[in-house]
Amino acid sequence: MHQHRKVWGRKVARPLKINQKRLLDEELPKLQLFADFGKKLDLTQLMPGFESYILEIGFGGGEHLAWRAQQSSSQGFIGCEPFITGVAGLLGYIEDYELDNVRIVIDDARVLLQSLPDASLDRIFILFPDPWHKKRHHKRRIVSDETIGELSRVLKKGGELMMATDIQDYADWMVDVLSRRSEFTAMLDGRQSVYERPHPWLVTRYEQKGIDAGRKPSYLLYRKND
């Protein structure tokens, strides 16, 4: 079957500032990983010395990923994001916090998932992904029947899939997709409901903007069964 990348939308959201261009020129080459169909990325060779590996799909401006990486120096973090402006934002955090446990993939997340070995990740974050509101665009949603198999495959047993969205329709969609996968169990981890934030948690500028607009986030945590 012919495979091709499926990245929709603009890759550069706004003109880059001088410092952003510098980061992309000087720092990105040291940190970028390249995924491709038919090629497996051995994280233990590309990022040796870490006790576990965590992926964030669509890291936006990089706030959450950098915050997690700053808290957990023993873990290796991979961020996947096709938009250059967001990549430049993450590079700024990496430089400011002097992080050495982050690598970046600028690509379609579906390509990266297919490039990762089985059971190679301990945790996956998918936070506030594009909801693709129109019904004809639902097939573009990163959480779907088409992608959940790959998300499951790359997670270790006992690994966690953490998703968040402030679009109720997408939250219902995510729950529906995961309900058809017997290898995943929904977890609250001491919370009263999915509307209560996990702990610890960083409220990013993007998340706060949605809250200020009156949207209520859902925080959906699933664990892959042992």
Which tens digits make up the pLDDT trace of 167-182? 999 999 999 999 999 9
DSSP the chain: --------S-S--SPPPHHHHHHHHHTHHHHB---BTTB---HHHHSTT-SEEEEEES-TTSHHHHHHHHH-TTEEEEEE---HHHHHHHHHHHHHHT--SEEEE-S-HHHHHHHSPTT-EEEEEEES-----SGGGGGG-SSSHHHHHHHHHHEEEEEEEEEEES-HHHHHHHHHHHHT-TTEEEE-TT-SSTTSPPSS----HHHHHHHHTT---EEEEEEE--
Instruction: Judge whether 1 lies within some domain.
Output: no
Residues of the domain holding 67: 18-224
Does 2 score more than 50 pLDDT?
A: no
Q: Give a yes or no: residue 13 inside a domain.
A: no
Whether residue 6 lies inside any domain: the answer is no
CATH number at residue 183: 3.40.50.150
The predicted pLDDT at position 185 comes to 98
What's the rounded mean pLDDT across residues 76-99?
A: 96
130 is annotated as an active-site residue: yes
Q: State the pTM of this model.
A: 0.93
Look at the chain and report how many structural domains it folds into.
1
What is the average per-residue pLDDT within 6-23? 72
pLDDT in tens, 17-33: 999 999 999 999 999 99
| Active-site entry in 96, 130, 145, 176 | 130
Per the domain annotation, does 5 fall within a domain?
no
Whether residue 190 has pLDDT greater than 70: yes
Average pLDDT over residues 101-129: 97
Residue 52 lies in a domain: yes
